[in-house]
């Protein structure tokens, strides 16, 4: 059993009292998990959502037949009459009703903060702009391979509070978004990492600095901080008494993780210790070498056996919708990277391709700057096929770089891509955008793409 690093007796914020009605803001997967958690502890709840027909409304009605469930435009009185409030990550903390409640002294937290106050085993916390799900899955599989009882969730898979429904495991592994972290103050992970930072969610944050500040909340507490030494805005994360381990795609310092060349062969190393030949990893692309190094550092910090860690790095083939190979048609390889919902993720996917490519992109831009795609596509881009609401913004950024086409839907995009691609090329779906203008989420977008590819003649 790993050493527990959580003290539930001392929380910076007051505990939610059973006699108080708690306001849950948001009727999605997170809001439903909060309602289940509080109901099991006999705490009265009132649930609101500014959507008319939110996704978990029917489930909440069944779960809470005697509770007030309010949909549609927020009502200020709901927010001011509660003693405590739990805000789902999809709801901005800048929402006027929430800001008004904060000004009136209402306690406002998120589900991860509630989790942090009740967690009963060590936690590994994983955040960053890209690669979070891959590293979360890697570390979870490493722990299982070592014989540990591990529960995985947060922004990936199961909501964090649902992980607390059974006896304590050996370890929790949580993927955490900036939205979740900005409402969290008590998390004390045994090991934490912010993998990387690239501009994202600029429709929600006032600046890149505000986005970074939210991500850095992953490093609260006195656990081991895993630092990406290649990220200037992360490399100087420091406070007195910190225990840090770094990783880099360059030659590392002693006791840190990186890459070294031995007789023309690239190796993952810790200091001068050879751990694994890079070619032995099933995950492709330089960005996945960084993911592997981060997972190595997290696993060491959590005391996971090294032989189990290395076995998983050699066998783990990646997650669906993350640069996932789909098919080869007439010499063209098709890849599904629907999880590429921001420019940084799409850049990483493009750089992992060692061929001429046709890129399918587009959706909801989230006020992103698409200009970095120009350089990446100037080297190996054959064509770009655009879909979705903000296709024109991407086209404007790519003027003169390569051929640009507009498609009416995903099937049309796949058809155009097939016409443009040549034998030896790759077609890559990596939208650099959110999906909610056309799909229920990136999973549906990726599945529709794969269905269309598999239907090609």
Q: Which of 29, 46, 130, 132 is catalytic?
A: 132
Q: Catalytic: which of 29, 145, 201, 339?
A: 201
Angle (nearest 5°) at CA 51 between 45 and 55:
75
Active site residue 132: yes
| Backbone phi, psi, residue 37, to 5° | -60, -45
CA distance linking residue 142 with residue 147, whole number of Å: 9
To the query of whether residue 274 is one of the catalytic residues in this protein, the response is: no
Give CA–CA dist 97/108, Å, rounded: 12
Quote the CA–CA distance of 242 and 222 in Å, as a whole number: 7
Catalytic residue, from 155, 188, 196, 336: name it: 155
Catalytic residues: 132, 155, 201
């Amino acid at each position: 059993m790993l050493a527990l690093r959580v003290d539930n007796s001392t929380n910076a914020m007051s505990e939610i009292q059973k006699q108080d009605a708690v306001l849950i803001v948001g009727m999605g997967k997170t809001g439903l998990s909060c309602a289940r958690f509080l109901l099991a502890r006999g705490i009265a709840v009132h649930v609101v959502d500014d959507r008319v027909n939110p996704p978990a409304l029917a489930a909440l009605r069944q779960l809470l037949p005697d509770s007030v469930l309010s949909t549609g435009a927020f009502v200020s009185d709901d927010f001011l009459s509660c003693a405590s409030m739990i805000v789902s990550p999809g709801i901005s903390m800048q929402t006027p009703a929430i800001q008004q409640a904060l000004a009136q002294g209402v306690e406002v937290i998120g589900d991860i903060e509630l989790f942090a106050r009740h967690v009963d085993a060590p936690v590994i916390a994983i955040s960053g702009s890209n690669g979070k799900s891959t590293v979360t899955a890697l570390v979870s599989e490493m722990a299982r391979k070592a014989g540990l009882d591990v529960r995985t969730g947060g922004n990936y898979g199961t909501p964090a509070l649902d992980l607390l429904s059974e006896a304590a495991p050996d370890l929790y592994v949580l993927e955490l978004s900036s939205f979740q972290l900005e409402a969290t103050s008590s998390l004390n992970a045994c090991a934490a990492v912010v993998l990387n930072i690239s501009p994202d969610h600029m429709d929600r944050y006032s600046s890149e600095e505000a986005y970074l500040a939210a991500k850095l909340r992953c490093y609260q507490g006195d656990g081991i901080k895993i630092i990406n030494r290649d990220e200037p805005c992360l490399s100087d994360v420091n406070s007195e008494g910190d225990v840090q381990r770094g990783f880099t795609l360059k030659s590392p310092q002693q006791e840190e993780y990186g890459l070294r060349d031995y007789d023309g062969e690239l190796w993952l190393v810790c200091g001068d210790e050879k751990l694994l030949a890079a070619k032995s990893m099933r995950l492709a692309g330089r960005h996945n070498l960084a993911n592997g190094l981060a997972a190595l550092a997290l696993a060491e910090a959590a005391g996971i056996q090294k032989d189990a860690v290395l076995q998983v790095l050699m066998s783990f083939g990646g997650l669906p919708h993350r640069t996932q190979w789909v098919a080869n048609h007439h010499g063209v390889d098709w890849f599904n990277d629907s999880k590429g919902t921001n420019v940084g993720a799409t850049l990483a996917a493009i750089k992992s391709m060692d061929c001429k490519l046709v890129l399918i992109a587009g959706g909801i831009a989230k006020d992103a700057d698409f200009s970095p795609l120009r350089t990446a596509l100037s080297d190996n881009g054959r064509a770009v096929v655009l879909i979705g609401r903000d296709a024109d913004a991407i086209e404007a950024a790519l003027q003169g770089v390569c051929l640009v086409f507009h498609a009416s839907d995903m099937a049309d995009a796949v058809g155009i891509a097939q016409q443009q691609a040549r034998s030896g090329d790759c077609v890559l779906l990596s939208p650099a955008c959110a999906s909610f203008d056309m799909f229920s989420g990136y999973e549906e977008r990726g599945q529709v793409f794969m269905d269309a590819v598999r239907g090609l003649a």
